[in-house]
Amino acid sequence: MEFVNGKTRTCGLIGNPVEHTLSPLIHNTLSGFTGLNQIYVPLHVETGFLEDAVKGAYALNFLGMNVTVPYKSDVISYVKEIDPVAKNIGAVNTLVRMDGGYKGYNTDMLGLFRGMQSEGINIEGEEIILIGAGGAARAVAFLCAMKGAKQVYLMNRTLEKAELVANEINEALHLSCVVPMKLEDYGLLPDKKYLAIQGTSIGLHPNVEAAPIMDPQFYEKVHTGYDLIYNPEKTKFMQLVEDAGGKSYNGLKMLLYQGVIAFELFTGKSISEEQANKVHDKMMKAMKQHE
Ligand code: NAP
């Protein structure tokens, strides 16, 4: 964004905290690439002000918004319409302006899918281990089931949570592919090679020496490991996957593509993989500067 004038459209990120977000970098770079007169700003919203924030943004003619922690579920009460996929997941991270309010979408899940596609990682027909059953893992489990995974072993420290999520997804999609397991029972997994997705907060900076499973034997079963965490760039989980001969990826592309898809929804423009890769390089540089 070289300058702001009377015709500049505004988008923003609602959350608390928002101070370390990379979303302005993603969106403002894409505005530059597409030549749109549009700016994206962080919007710190205090507890209790979410409804005011959404209504205020609409009144102020904001084109669109992203929503982050802790408001992704609560914001559903304040949207005019909701995309069926976001409704199923129970979380909205993107608000797209429409007549009389905003329509809520979930681009986290679609972002992970596009990020995986760009790395050549398959979901359809795969046997998948998904570690975690929190907000992010729930969305990933939906994605895997919707995109035709053969089996999803949903492994969580608290078995009840994994059972709840697995039941919800199997019921919503009329499937039976999501199988809940207790994390410590990883030794019971059938002897095969899996795509393993790490969806817990274990290993996140500054606890960089931690992984949800430390046993090297587990990683013998993993052909590809995908960690939703992107800070550090290589998590302990990723290192353990590589030590056992597998390929590993971090969650930066997921973050990138949730932003790319939100930008496309806000503007109706399509972003090429080449443009997305340029944004990815800028994100990597920005993260290195903050180390
Ligand atoms: P969350 O809702 O708080 O879920 C946390 C999960 O981690 C739960 O399954 C929890 O298990 C498990 N967990 C936490 N501490 C544990 C421990 N000591 N031992 C075993 N399990 C433990 O978090 P979230 O919002 O889903 O986010 C999870 C991660 O995804 C975060 O690191 C976040 O940065 C990342 N993420 C990345 C992107 C991206 O764009 N790349 C987007 C969203 C999230 P219990 O159920 O047993 O408590």
Contacts for 31 with CB less than 8 Å, ≥ 6 apart:
1, 37, 38, 39, 40
Q: What value, to the nearest 5°, has the Cα angle with vertex 135 and ends 162 and 108?
A: 130
The model's confidence at residue 3, banded by pLDDT at 50, 70 and 90, is confident
From residue 226, alpha-carbon distances to 47, 115, 117, 248, 250 in Å are 33, 11, 12, 6, 6
Q: Cα of 52 to ligand 1 centre, how many Å?
A: 29
The model's confidence at residue 289, banded by pLDDT at 50, 70 and 90, is confident
Q: Cα of 27 to ligand 1 centre, how many Å?
A: 25
Whether the CB of 21 sits within 6 Å of ligand 1: no
Tens digits of per-residue pLDDT, 66-97? 999 999 999 999 999 999 999 999 999 999 99
- Cis amide bond preceding 180, omega within 30: no
Percent of the chain with pLDDT over 90: 97
Can you tell me the mean pLDDT for 27-47? Answer: 98
Backbone angles phi, psi at 165, to 5 degrees: -65, -45
Tens digits of per-residue pLDDT, 160-174? 999 999 999 999 999
Count CA atoms within 13 Å of residue 233 on its CB side: 11
Whether the CB of 136 sits within 6 Å of ligand 1: yes
- Among candidate residues 290, 261, 229, the one with its CA nearest the CA of residue 26: 261
The model's confidence at residue 288, banded by pLDDT at 50, 70 and 90, is confident
User: DSSP label at 176?
Assistant: -
Contacts for 65 with CB less than 8 Å, ≥ 6 apart:
11, 12, 13, 14, 43, 54, 57, 94, 95, 102
Q: Output the pTM of the full model.
A: 0.94
Which of 228, 257, 284 has most ligand 1 atoms within 8 Å of its beta carbon, as the pocket-test mutant? 228
The ligand 1 atom at the shortest distance from the C-alpha of residue 252 is 41
Can you tell me the mean pLDDT for 192-198? Answer: 98
- Cis amide bond preceding 190, omega within 30: no
Residue whose CA is at the smallest distance from ligand 1 atom 41: 251
Helix axes 107-118, 252-267, angle to 10 degrees: 120
The model's confidence at residue 2, banded by pLDDT at 50, 70 and 90, is low
What is the model's pLDDT at position 73? Answer: 95
Tokens found for residue 192: 């095969």
**Cβ neighbours, 10 Å, residue 46:** 9
3-class DSSP assignment, residue 67: strand
Whether the CB of 202 sits within 6 Å of ligand 1: yes
Whether the CB of 212 sits within 6 Å of ligand 1: yes
Mean pLDDT of the chain, nearest integer: 96
Whether the CB of 106 sits within 6 Å of ligand 1: no
Tens digits of per-residue pLDDT, 106-148? 999 999 999 999 999 999 999 999 999 998 999 999 999 999 9
From residue 6, alpha-carbon distances to 1, 15, 36, 184 in Å are 14, 27, 13, 58
By annotation, the residues acting in catalysis are 72
The answer on pLDDT for 1 being more than 60 is no
What is the model's pLDDT at position 95? Answer: 98
* Rounded distance between C-alpha atoms, residue 203 and residue 200, angstroms: 8
Residue 140 · residue 197 · CB < 8 Å:
yes
